[in-house]
Amino acid sequence: MTTKRTSDPSTTDSPTLSSESARIDSTLTLEAIRSLAQVMKDFELSELELTQPSGERLRLCGRRTEVVQAAPIVQAAPIVTAVAPVQASSPPPATGKANPIDKSITVITAPLVGTFYRSASPESPTFTEVGQRVRKGQTLCIIEAMKLMNELESEVDGVVVAILGENGRPVEFGEALFQIKTG
């Protein structure tokens, strides 16, 4: 830590405080400067400047090393949703599209609120298409929620009959996204 005393702001030569008995002026003793240095440390200040009514200034500059901490990288785990076969007596899904009457069709719903994406990026191919055979655990889409990309995986083996979600559009919790014919 360096201590400077100037009576005129244009003065460039500043004596450095080096001994126990040194005094800057009649009101600032070495003990007072040390207590100011302790205040700087307690409040994590890098610089302190004091101006006396007489016009004299005292400036304390601390040497601080900045520690930069990297934020931990959080990766979203794939989301596995519970699926149930659709029965003919159940109400229509939130999208307004009719439920399949065939009991071998499983509806995959959105496990969370977010934005539906059919591919990892605009340039990437889609994860699945209508008529494509999918396996249990295969990624069907991504749902972005709070800047986290959550993969939605198939719970059944089968053929994709319908893709009900629109790419880049918001989806609600429980909204039907895929119809997969099992068997």
Q: Which value, in Å, is the radius of gyration of the alpha carbons in the chain?
A: 34
pTM: 0.46
The token pair at 84 is: 């149930």
Q: How far, in Å, CA of 139 to CA of 4, rounded?
A: 66
Share of the chain above pLDDT 90, in %: 38
Which residue matches tokens 């089968």? 158
**Tens digits of residue pLDDT in 30-88:** 888 888 888 888 888 888 788 878 777 888 887 655 555 555 555 565 665 555 555 54
Q: Which domains does the chain have, with CATH numbers?
A: 2-61 (no CATH), 79-181 (2.40.50.100)
The token pair at 147 is: 């800047």
26: exposed, middle or buried (Cβ count in 10 Å: 0-12, 13-18, 19+): exposed
Closest CA to 4 of 76, 57, 72: 57
Three-state secondary-structure class, residue 100: coil
**Tens digits of residue pLDDT in 151-162:** 999 999 999 999
